[in-house]
């Protein structure tokens, strides 16, 4: 006997992600899935984004922090006064939609407009798991090298924006911004591309404006 | 190692498809499609499945994996071609104005069961 299934293997996750998305839409919440390698600068980017020159006063943010262990990132969000829930995946290399569904129960969704999910630092495993976000934003720091788009295409292909981080370090690396931009255009022609140096605030207003535009367009 | 999570999801999905079809018995073959750009390594997935299928209906199933390639779609001449690597140019007209599509499939195609 043969059963023709022709179904996505991660269908269960995708169903849960769709439920998350419906829940967020109904509550007027815009979800962003922030992905990138460990050390690409995800938390530092968020700190800059939630500052005065970023989204302060414009987005009513909350953050879900995904880490294998610890709550260092959550403490950094807490210090900014941003509501935060920490998920410890206890070894798992990515967040999935069920973890998000459980985490949001710990947030006062009424007060939130922008929900940023900072994924586990990983360019491979995070690519396959829809969390219920409206935008996926992938970070690539210049110290990682400009070959990462070709080496890890899936995560870039499915993202709505590429943020090249730590551009203040460019003079010390052989990273070619143009190569990264060209590769991103082939993998995700519609994606927006930003260059930032979060510790200096460089490029943050443009990224913040784009996020607000995308939130308002919904 | 997200192949473990995927193997886990796959086993559950096969079991629920078999149940939904009102079938029972041992699964003899499972056919999958895992795109070259899916980020899933078929060998790692097989390794994870080997560990996880023990005691399930999939224990002695053959796992067949098709690996669909990505397509390079040229905006200049409109041609579409399968690609091995993430080439920068259209092989037809040489344009670099190309977009890469597909290759991200992660599908359970079919399940075969032993005849009772």
Domain holding B81: CATH number? 3.30.2320.80
Give the whole-angstrom CA distance, residue B28 versus residue B113: 5
Predicted pLDDT of residue A16: 95
Q: B88 to chain A: which residues are within 8 Å by CB?
A: 182, 186
Indicate whether A1 belongs to any domain.
Answer: no
DSSP string, B88-116: SS-TTT--S-EEEE----EEEEEEEE---
pLDDT of residue A91: 81
User: What pTM value is reported for the model?
Assistant: 0.88
Chosen for mutation from B100, B102, B110 (greatest number of chain A CBs closer than 10 Å) is B100
**What are A129-144's pLDDT values in tens digits?**
999 999 999 999 999 9
Among candidates A8, A12, A150 on the partner chain, residue whose Cβ is nearest the Cβ of B107: A8
Q: State the complex-level ipTM.
A: 0.81
Task: Compute the mean pLDDT over every residue in chain A, rounded to the nearest whole number.
Answer: 95
Confidence of residue A163 (pLDDT cuts 50, 70, 90): very high
What is the predicted pLDDT for the residue at A12? Answer: 87
DSSP state string for B50-68: HHH-TTSTTTT-EEEEE-P
Number of domains in chain B: 1
Residue A3 lies in a domain: no
Q: Quote the pLDDT of residue B116.
A: 63
Confidence (pLDDT) at A17: 97
Determine, yes or no, domain membership for A5.
Answer: no
In the prediction, which pLDDT does B82 show?
92
Rounded distance, CA B13 to CA A9, Å?
Answer: 7
Q: What's the domain count of chain A? A: 1
Q: pLDDT by residue for chain B (116 residues), tens digit each?
A: 688 989 999 999 999 999 999 988 899 999 999 998 888 999 999 999 999 999 999 999 999 999 999 999 999 999 999 988 777 788 899 888 888 888 889 999 999 999 76
Distance CA A152, CA A147 (A): 9
Q: Each residue of A19-73: pLDDT tens digit?
A: 999 999 999 999 999 999 999 999 999 999 999 999 999 999 999 999 999 999 9
Residue numbers of the domain that contains A125: 11-216
Per-residue tokens: A170: 């460019």
Output b/e per residue, A174-211; b: 16+ Cβ within 10 A: ebeeeebeebbbbbbeebbebbbbbeeeebbeebbebb
Residue A179: give its domain's CATH number. 3.40.50.300
Task: Assess contact for A76 and A47: CB atoms under 8 A.
Answer: yes
Chain B residues within 8 angstroms (CB to CB) of chain A: 1-2, 5-6, 9-10, 12-13, 17-18, 21, 23, 32, 37-40, 70, 86, 88, 96, 98-100, 103-104, 106-113, 115
Closest-CA residue to B32 (of B112, B91, B95, B113): B112
pLDDT value of residue B39: 85
Distance in Å, alpha carbon of A91 to nearest chain B alpha carbon: 10
Evaluate whether residue A154 is within a structural domain: yes
The closest of B74, B86, B67, B99 to A152, measured between CA atoms, is B86
User: Phi-psi bin for A73: left (phi > 0), alpha (psi -120 to 50), beta?
Assistant: alpha
pLDDT interval class at A202 (50, 70, 90)? very high
Best probe of the A interface among B6, B14, B37, by most A CBs < 10 A, is B37
CB contact under 8 A, A186 and B115: no
Q: Quick: pLDDT tens for A85-140.
A: 999 988 888 999 999 999 999 999 999 999 999 999 999 989 989 999 999 999 99
* Residue A27 resides in a domain: yes
Q: How many residues are present in chain A?
A: 218
How far apart, in whole angstroms, are the C-alpha atoms of residue B77 and residue B67? 27
Q: How many CB pairs under 8 A join A and B?
A: 102
Cβ pair A53, A208 in contact under 8 A? yes
Question: 3-class secondary structure for A105-166?
Answer: HHCCHHHCCEEEEECCCCCCHHHHCCCCCCEEEEEEEHHHCCCHHHHCHHHHHCCCEEEEEC
For CA atoms A199, A205, A208, A214, the dihedral sign is: negative
Domain that holds residue B71: 3-113
Q: What is the C-alpha to C-alpha distance for residues A114 and A59, in angstroms, rounded to an integer?
A: 6
pLDDT at B97: 87
The mean pLDDT of A155-176, rounded to a whole number, is: 97
Place of tokens 């995904």: A66
Measure Cα distances from A113 to A79, A109, A110, B95 in Å: 20, 8, 8, 43
Rounded Cα distance, A32 and A27, in Å: 15
């Amino acid at each position: 006997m043969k059963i023709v299934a022709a179904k996505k293997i991660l269908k269960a996750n995708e169903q849960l992600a769709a439920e998350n998305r419906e829940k967020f839409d109904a509550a007027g919440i815009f979800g962003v899935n922030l992905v990138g390698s460990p050390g690409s600068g995800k938390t530092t980017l968020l700190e800059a984004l939630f500052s005065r020159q970023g989204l302060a006063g414009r987005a009513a943010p909350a953050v879900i922090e995904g880490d294998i262990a610890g709550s260092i990132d959550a403490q950094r969000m807490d210090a900014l006064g941003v509501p935060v829930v920490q998920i410890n995946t206890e070894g798992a290399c990515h967040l999935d939609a069920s973890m998000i569904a459980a985490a949001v129960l710990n947030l006062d969704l009424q007060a939130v407009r922008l929900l940023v999910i900072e994924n586990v630092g990983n360019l491979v495993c995070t690519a396959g798991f829809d969390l219920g976000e409206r935008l996926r934003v992938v970070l690539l720091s210049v110290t990682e090298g400009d070959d990462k788009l070709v080496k890890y295409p899936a995560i870039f292909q499915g993202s709505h924006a590429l943020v090249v981080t730590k551009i203040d370090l460019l003079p010390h690396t052989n990273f070619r911004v143009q190569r990264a931009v060209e590769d991103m255009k082939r993998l995700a022609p519609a994606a927006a591309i930003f260059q930032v140096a979060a510790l200096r605030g460089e490029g943050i207003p443009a990224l913040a404006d784009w996020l607000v535009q995308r939130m308002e367009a919904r | 190692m997200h192949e473990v999570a995927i193997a886990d999801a796959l086993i559950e999905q096969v079991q629920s498809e078999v149940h939904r079809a009102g079938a029972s018995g041992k699964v003899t073959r499972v056919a999958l499609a895992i795109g070259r750009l899916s980020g899933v390594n078929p060998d790692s997935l097989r390794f994870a499945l080997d560990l996880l299928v023990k005691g399930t209906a999939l224990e002695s199933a053959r796992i067949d994996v098709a690996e669909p390639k990505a397509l390079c779609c040229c905006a200049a001449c409109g041609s579409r071609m399968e690609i091995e690597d993430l080439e920068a140019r259209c092989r037809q007209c040489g344009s670099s104005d190309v977009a890469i599509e597909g290759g991200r499939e992660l599908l359970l195609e079919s399940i075969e069961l032993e005849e009772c």
